[in-house]
Structure 1
Amino acid sequence: MRFEVSKVLDAIEARLTTDPALARAVVDLSEIVRYADLDGGRPASMLRLGLVIDALGRHVAEENVPVYAVVPRGLLSDADLTSNERMVVRRWADDGVVEVVPQVDDRVFEVAELLGLPVLTRGRAEQFRDRRPWVSEPGRLLAAVPGAGGPVLVARVGRGDVPAVAEPSPMGRKLLSRVWGCPETCTAYGSGGDPDSPFADMRTTTSPVSQPPPALRSGVPTCPRHGARLRDAGPRPAVEVLSVRIDGVVRRRFVVSTENPVVVGRAPEGGGVMLGQWLSDDARKWISRGHVRLALRSGELSAQDVSTNGTGIRPNGSFDDDQRITLNRDETRALGPTDVVELYANVYVGRAKLWSSGGVTQPHSVMAEAPTMAIRKFER
């Protein structure tokens, strides 16, 4: 069973991000792990984060939905978690896939405000209403509650629709336009991580393109983990958030920045966006390992064909074949705001905001490998 739990935690890790461009919701991990009514189990369990992530995926009808998790430092030594769970949270912190803070306070709501994201919480945030009145807006607070087929998200106000692409606040846009540096040893805003961590030799550093939003203390950008004043290190590279839609289902999102073009294909060499696992046999035969290269320069998104069979462009998302434009090897075309790249029939890449629904009612569950006892509540 321990091996199964580890596999689930690995699957959950793949759905965690502090990248403002990719996160779809914000959570306080110390709250989520104590939702004992979701599985009827022990007082605290990391697997409940997986249940809530699955609920978010069903809510937005999309595969591979990531969340931004804020973790109070005390959770790293919480005796209600198993030693393995505590070790995993520590690793997540060192890898920068969760944000560790001394105390949560209102950091979850600060991140949600700056990024324009909903908060997954059962609280009503009444203590924050004066300075964060948006918590009373429809869909900004979503509560995970038990449901017949697993947890469901219920909006505190309104219908609870989650936007396809979040709109940061004016202050959020300002903060996200800069790269920040922390004077401490810092994964998010500098180099390294906790030097005392058992994972210190494997730690990673967050790319400037995907730095999380700084905390604001008396209006000053501050490292949320160390409380140190951040240094403005210059302009942040521009980004575009794109989605892969296959057979009507949004399979994943990815970011193209001015510094990092991205190759999409069946199985791109040296990284990129791999589609092979979602393709039909015919599509796999047609789509090259590396099929199309997407780049962002001077605010202009472009597609360059690097395939054997060519790449289609659907201007304004039109499915009129008379309007379809074919790019041959090494040809490049600037993409308009609503243009869609076609690699094969029903295999598309476009800006994430083009598709308001992910098109799938039962996304793949991160809990697929969970021990039976972890989900027994829903089998009664």
Structure 2
Amino acid sequence: MDRHLTADFEEACFLVDLSPVVRRRDLGEPGLRSLRRLALVVDAAVELARDANVKLFLVADRSLRAGVRDEFNDPADVRVLRDWVRRGLVEELEDADGRVLELCEMTGIPVITYDYYRDARIEFPFLQGNTDDFLQPVPSPDGTVRLVPLDMGVASNVQISRKSEETVLKKQGLLGPKRIPRSEVVRRNWRCPERRCTLYDTRKGSSVMLPRMRDGVPTCDLHSLKLTDDGPRTAIAQVKLMVDSACAARFTLEDGSTVPIGRRPGPEGIALHGLVPDERAARISRVHVELQITEGVVRVEDVSSYGTRWRSTTGKTGPGSWRDLGKGALREFRGGDELELTEGVVLARSGRRFPTELAQEWQRRTPPSEEAAGAVTRMY
């Protein structure tokens, strides 16, 4: 299972709120706590992503493994968790909820959870009415697990207030009087004043972390120091080549580029020859589609002789129907969209969104008014 876990945000396809998953007693087996439940979720993530090498980023409450060894079905699970924390494969915090939501909001990576986070609706308004960013593990009769969209619903002021009162000791100090747009944080690179720290340094670190927001200030999680702005972050999108629903290759696209993709598009493009069976490659144009990335927004144009089909896979009822992409116009290619170049050969975008796309979502999801928020109990 370790090979599906990552400490690198750039590799993660899913975030996992680990504590409720490990404690979910209707998953896999009886008992209070079990890592076997996580293994079932990993299998479900592989199936949903159609990627045998899919990566998950785990966040857990410190209480999950503290002082409760006898609650795990297998005592070895405690040692495994301790090893994962030591290796950075689990980010362990006093309260995981805020970190999970912070990462989801800043990166757009879908969250696997059972929690509706009603106590966090003021700090994270994007939760209200959200049907796109959360997945719930659901057991099947054959003992496997499926990941299905979780509708977060719209919590009333009374519901928010009551839930906040239940968790006020955990949340005390995390809710500020104003919400700072975090898109401005993820658009920048950051550097810790501690010269030996490489957690956020793009020149030294092997995996660059996103900063931890404390009192609205980007802060180093390790040294608790205010981070220094280190210039703009180059946006990167990931595109996967799927052949018969299996991931055949991954490609990254940098901001400001135009990338032709096809059978043999030339040195500046992505060649599918050799990655796709010859009989299917013959039905893919030399340059089939062009992807343009401008200020974090990915757009696609069909330039083929054979035509291209498009669909979205992010709906609540599963993948939508295939439609002709059409020629002569650019179309946004968003997280969860797929392009069928020929039968069984698909280009799929990761579910992760660029900061620009996240900002557009924030504009669409209007935060609660100050008057409406006034009925909610807050403690700072």
- Return the TM-score normalized by structure 2: 0.54
Contact 1:253 1:352 in 2 (8 A): no
| C-alpha deviation, 1:146, in angstroms | 1.6
Do residues 142 (structure 1) and 127 (structure 2) align?
Answer: no
Q: Is the alpha carbon distance of 1:103 and 1:123 closer, same or farther for their aligned partners in structure 2, counting shifts above 3 Å?
A: closer
Q: 2:106 aligned with 1:114, yes or no?
A: yes
Deviation per residue, 1:257-314 (Å, 9 max, x gap): 47xxx9x9xxxxxxxx9x9998658789xxxxxxxxx99999799xxxxxxxxxxxxx
1:57-94 Cα shifts (integer Å, max 9, x gaps): 44x4532543332234565767345265135413540x
- Describe the shift of the 1:232–1:283 C-alpha distance in structure 2 as closer, same or farther (beyond 3 A): same
2:34 matched residue in structure 1: 45
- Partner Cα distance (2:341, 2:151) in 1: 41
Task: Please name the residue that 1:230 is paired with.
Answer: 227
Q: Does 1:217 align with 2:214?
A: yes
- Return 5+ residue gaps in structure 2 as ranges: 154-178, 262-269, 282-289, 309-329, 352-380
1:174 to 184, 198, 203: 184
Query: Which among 188, 191, 207 is matched to residue 199 of structure 2?
Result: 188
Give secondary structure in 1 for the equivalent of 2:26. Answer: helix
- Specify whether residues 187 and 244 from structure 1 end up closer, same or farther in structure 2 by C-alpha distance, changes over 3 A only: farther
* 1:1-380 mapped onto 2 (5 Å cutoff): 8-10=1-3, 12-13=4-5, 16=6, 18-19=8-9, 23-40=12-29, 43-58=32-47, 60=48, 62-64=50-52, 65-73=54-62, 79=69, 80=72, 82=76, 84-93=79-88, 97-139=89-131, 140-149=133-142, 150-157=144-151, 171-183=181-193, 186=197, 188-190=199-201, 205-207=205-207, 211-247=208-244, 251=248, 253-257=250-254, 280=277, 316-317=301-302, 319-321=304-306, 352=350
Tell me, in whole angstroms, the C-alpha distance in 1 between the residues paired with 2:294 and 2:108. Answer: 25
Between 341-350 and 143-152, the greater mean CA deviation after superposition: 341-350
CA RMSD in angstroms comes to 5.2
Give the drift of 1:222: 1.6
Sort the Cα spacing of 1:277 and 1:107 in 2 relative to 1 into closer, same or farther, 3 A: farther
> Counterparts of 2:30 and 2:146 in 1: how far apart (Å)?
18
For each residue in 1:130-150, what CA deviation from the matched residue of structure 2 results, as whole angstroms up to 9, or x when unmatched? 322332324244322322242
Q: Structure 1 residues 343, 145: closer, same or farther in 2, change over 3 A?
A: closer
What percent of counterpart residues are identical? 27
Distance in 2 separating the partners of 1:186 and 1:295: 37
State the shift of 1:320 in Å.
2.1
Contact 2:13/2:350, CA 8 A, preserved across alignment: no
Aligned 8 A contact 2:180 2:216 in 1: no
Distance 1:145 1:346 in 2: 28
Unaligned runs of 5+ in 1: 1-7, 160-168, 192-203, 265-272, 285-293, 302-314, 324-335, 354-380
Secondary structure of residue in 1 paired with 2:104: helix
Change (3 A) 1:52 1:282: same
* In 2, Cα distance between equivalents of 1:227 and 1:255: 33
d(CA) in 2 for partners of 1:42, 1:205: 40
Contact 1:101 1:224 (8 Å CA) reproduced: no
| AA matched with 2:237 | E
- Residues 35, 245 of structure 1: alpha-carbon distance in 2 compared, 3 angstrom cutoff: same
CA contact (8 A) 2:17 2:96 kept: yes
SS of residue in 1 equivalent to 2:301: helix
In structure 2, relative to structure 1, the CA distance for the partners of 1:151 and 1:225 (3 Å cut) is farther
CA–CA distance in 1 between the matches of 2:344 and 2:134?
Answer: 34
- Asked if structure 1 preserves the Cα contact closer than 8 Å seen for 2:28 and 2:36, the reply is no
Call closer, same or farther: CA 1:145–1:240 in 2, change over 3 Å. closer
Q: TM-score of the superposition, structure 1-length normalised?
A: 0.54
Amino acid at match of 1:235: P
